[in-house]
Amino acid sequence: MLGVPDTVVVSRPRRPRTRAVVALVAALLTTAASGAVPAGAAPAGTAAGVGTGAAAGVGTGVGAPTDAAHAQIPLYQQAVAVLPGGRRTGVPADAVPLFLPGTRVADPAAAVLAAALGASPTTSVHVGPAAAAAAAAEQQAWLAAGDVPGAGGPHEDLARAALLDLHSLTVADGVVVAGWSSHWRYVWPRDSAFVAVALARTGHVDDALAVLDFLAQVQEPDGAFHARYRTDGSGPPDDRGLQADGTGWAMWAAGLVLAEVDADERTAVAQRLAPLVERSATHALDLVAGGLPPASPDYWEVDEQEVTLGTAAPLVAGLEQAGVVLDAAGRPGPARAAAAGATRARRAVVEAFGPTDYGRYATRTVPDAASAFVLAPFWTHQPPGAVDAWRASVPSMRRPADGLAPGGAWRRDGVSWTPQTTLYAWVAAEQGDVARATHWLDVVERSRTPSGAIPEKILADGTPAAVAPLGWSAACVLLAVDALDDA
């Protein structure tokens, strides 16, 4: 058990309201005509057509060959609904999604009508109108406390949905699960690092710091991290073992979050972050003492016999930011050690991976999404040729819906992955490449679920699949749109 309840039952809902009746009847008529969950049943502010699976693009990828047929993967759920008392529940893939405006709180009146008409309601949890209204007001207040990137522009609704996704995936103070499906309902240090940065850059600095506090709580005494953790902080749920990139991501996030803190509070916040960062830096310096770190699983989450760029690059990014945080915290000795270690590790990575165009391995050229990790906003000094190598990685990673796979060697099953697609959108925006950033955001925009959530995967025909929402993808969407605002 994860300590994250799936449901809670509260008071009996009131009689249906006219708005809910009209919307639900229209949604049910659409469902009956098409045999699919209607995109038109999306919450207020979500564009019609979201999640309908419209195909776009012609990329095929050149990864390791598999069956000629494209993969068919179900949508595990289409959103996470917010319940009274801070609890959460999944929204079934076949449900009619009707939420209170601007929230992920199911409309209780619509649930009554859905049950009466034999349709799948947004959730099976019975929530009274007063309790639902209170939960909706709480989520709306959280949104109002920060900023929605892209306000007034074409990606405002996508960014708002990403914020709702992150809030809905937050199950306790600082505890943001990667997704809601059972195997994803844990905390990954990598995912949480990206979420913390996204929260900080959208005005939710206290929430970002809470995320980093949780990472400090579960971190090993020597500064290492396991691949993932239970939501109650009691440790890893399995024996996957340590994953070295998590140490880098924790330091990197701490530096980028600190940059969003008001100047008069920066010293105190740096001192708050210092234990997490100093432990991480000590461990990272041990890992890169010989130049490159040892082999470790990275974001592909598979065992590796040789070091990958997905492990080495985040350690450089992390040590660079560790020097900044520790210096601000008044720890000059550890700050200098971290900065010097970052310089040595950066040189080793450039010498090893530069000749293979910043691909997955130093021994052969295999395009990989980790090529993004040597660019801004990760490394403070981009190596020569790295931008060109990053752009050159795209053709081998592109999939039929015009999103990206994790790397050129990834299986050719027609599936686009939104973590990598949105990662490239963010990096493009940070590079000032508005056209590419906009393109990849649009790919995700048109493949959201009927609830408007951002899925983990996009099938060849543009249909959302697998886990929805995915916190890492939502974070990258927010960061990309925020960077476009600056661009």
Predicted confidence at residue 238, as pLDDT, reads 95
Predicted confidence at residue 178, as pLDDT, reads 98
* pLDDT over 60 at 259, yes or no: yes
Predicted confidence at residue 56, as pLDDT, reads 25
Confidence of residue 95 (pLDDT cuts 50, 70, 90): very high
Predicted confidence at residue 370, as pLDDT, reads 98
Predicted confidence at residue 120, as pLDDT, reads 85
What gap in Å lies between CA 274 and CA 323, rounded to an integer? 10
Q: Which residues pair with 398 in a beta bridge?
A: 404
* pLDDT over 80 at 64, yes or no: no
Concatenate the DSSP letters of all residues of 133-157 into one string: HHHHHHHHHHHHTS--TTTTSTTHH
Q: What is the pLDDT of residues 200-230, one digit of tens each?
A: 999 999 999 999 999 999 999 999 999 999 9
What gap in Å lies between CA 478 and CA 429, rounded to an integer? 11
Q: What is the pLDDT of residues 106-150, one digit of tens each?
A: 999 887 887 778 888 888 888 899 999 999 999 999 999 999 999
Confidence of residue 68 (pLDDT cuts 50, 70, 90): low
Predicted confidence at residue 28, as pLDDT, reads 44
Predicted confidence at residue 54, as pLDDT, reads 22
Alpha helices, H only, 416-470: 418-430, 434-445
Predicted confidence at residue 58, as pLDDT, reads 25
Predicted confidence at residue 477, as pLDDT, reads 98
Q: What value does the mean pLDDT take over residues 186-199?
A: 98
Predicted confidence at residue 39, as pLDDT, reads 32
What are the residue boundaries of the structural domains of the chain, listed by start? 18-176+393-486
Highest mean pLDDT among 14-28, 47-61, 96-110, 153-167 belongs to 153-167
Concatenate the DSSP letters of all residues of 78-112 into one string: SEEEE-GGG-EEEEPTTS---BSTTSS-B-HHHHH
116 burial type by CB count under 10 A (0-12 exposed, 13-18 middle, 19+ buried): exposed
Q: What value does the mean pLDDT take over residues 26-38?
A: 38
What gap in Å lies between CA 46 and CA 286, rounded to an integer? 48
Contact 379, 317 (CB under 8 A): yes
Q: What value does the mean pLDDT take over residues 387-415?
A: 97
Predicted confidence at residue 109, as pLDDT, reads 87
* Residue carrying the six token digits 């440790």: 235
* Residue carrying the six token digits 């996508």: 158
Q: What value does the mean pLDDT take over residues 167-176?
A: 97
Q: Does 54 or 188 have the greater pLDDT score?
A: 188
Q: What is the pLDDT of residues 453-467, one digit of tens each?
A: 999 999 999 999 999
Q: What value does the mean pLDDT take over residues 413-438?
A: 98
